[in-house]
Amino acid sequence: MADVMEERIRSIQFSSGIAFVLGALLLALTITLYPSLPPANETNKVLEVLVKEDTASWMWLHAMMVAGFALVTIAFTAFSFQLHLRGSSGPASVVSSCALVAGAIWAAFLSAEFFVHPFVKNLMGVEPGLATMLFNTFWYWKMGALWTAGLLMFVAVIAAGTTGTARGILPVWLGWGGAVFATLGVLIYLFEFMTSTATGSAINPMRGGFARYGVGLTLQLWLLATGATFLSEWRNRVTTLPPQMRTPVPKRESHDAGTAGAA
């Protein structure tokens, strides 16, 4: 039974480690490549910037973001299984639920960019007024949905970091470091929400340099460090486990020998 549990832990560590590393690399790349946008409520200026973007590069950028968030969702789900095996089923449910809902929102609205961007770009040359109206509707829905997804992911990082440290899954500096930066992200998102409700503008907390690089990019480094920690533990478990010995099976006497003995 102990060998089965060890195999489960090794499998979870490998899966979550690979997903954390690959997802963090993709998202960190998209954060640096994403264009700087005007204030969220100035949708006309935002639309001008987006129309100038090459359609192919814009679609590839969002495809990388969808893949990155999908990998991070898988990683947090595997992380929640580790918490469950260590006896923290409550925090494990928080981590997995927040990650799954956030990943579904990101996948839905970022995938919509595959069709919205070329459609609006082509419509601008025919009906600029209609294109602006349609873009405004999609832009407000998208920013609100991505704000919700980002807030949920911050909660997942806080639950994973604090509980992972308490259960010995993560080092103290790594677990609490992620929780601190995620809490800072929650405060930034809440402040942006309060500002948007007062002015009626769209929500875009990652537009600022501090939120984008100081919080967003730092959390990608946290995901990368978490994945590297899991892969290191997985490799150490592989090298320290003793070789499995086959159970000897006694030779079976032939039918003729048994008959002769009976005679």
Query: What is the Rg, in whole angstroms, of the alpha carbon atoms belonging to the chain?
Result: 25
Q: In total, how many domains does the chain have? A: 1
> Burial level of 214, CB count in 10 A (0-12/13-18/19+)?
middle
Nearest to 35 by CA among 46, 19, 21: 46
In the structure encoding, which two tokens stand for residue 146, read together? 């991505």
Return d(Cα 80, Cα 88) in angstroms, integer.
Answer: 9
In the structure encoding, which two tokens stand for residue 94, read together? 């928080």
Cα 202 to the center of its chain, rounded Å: 24
Return d(Cα 62, Cα 43) in angstroms, integer.
Answer: 20
Residue 246 in domain: no
Nearest to 148 by CA among 180, 179, 112, 104: 104
pLDDT the model gives residue 251: 60
Residues composing the chain: 263
Is the Cβ–Cβ distance between 75 and 20 less than 8 Å?
Answer: yes
pLDDT the model gives residue 263: 47
Supply the DSSP string of 137-154, one letter for each residue: HHHHHHHHHHHHHHHHHH
Residue 255 in domain: no
Residue 50 in domain: yes
pTM given for the model: 0.82
Does 212 have pLDDT greater than 50?
Answer: yes
pLDDT the model gives residue 134: 85
Is the Cβ–Cβ distance between 223 and 78 less than 8 Å?
Answer: no
Q: How far apart are the first and last CA of the chain?
A: 45
* Mean pLDDT, rounded, for 103-114: 90
Q: Which of 204-208, 226-230, 249-253 has the highest mean pLDDT?
A: 226-230
What's the pLDDT tens digit per position in 11-53?
888 999 999 999 999 999 998 888 887 776 677 788 888 888 8
Cα 122 to the center of its chain, rounded Å: 33
Residue 256 in domain: no
Residue 249's φ and ψ, nearest 5 degrees, are: -110, 125
What's the pLDDT tens digit per position in 175-211?
999 999 999 999 998 988 888 776 666 777 777 778 8
Arithmetic mean of pLDDT over the chain: 84
Is the Cβ–Cβ distance between 35 and 212 less than 8 Å?
Answer: no
Q: Which of 152-156, 187-191, 230-234, 243-247 has the highest mean pLDDT?
A: 152-156
Q: Which domain holds residue 95?
A: 2-35+43-239
Higher pLDDT, 124 or 170: 170
pLDDT the model gives residue 255: 53
Residue 247 in domain: no
What's the pLDDT tens digit per position in 76-98?
999 999 998 888 889 999 999 99
pLDDT the model gives residue 225: 95
pLDDT the model gives residue 4: 65
Tokens 């992380």 locate to 79
Does 143 have pLDDT greater than 70?
Answer: yes
Return d(Cα 175, Cα 155) in angstroms, integer.
Answer: 13
pLDDT the model gives residue 142: 85
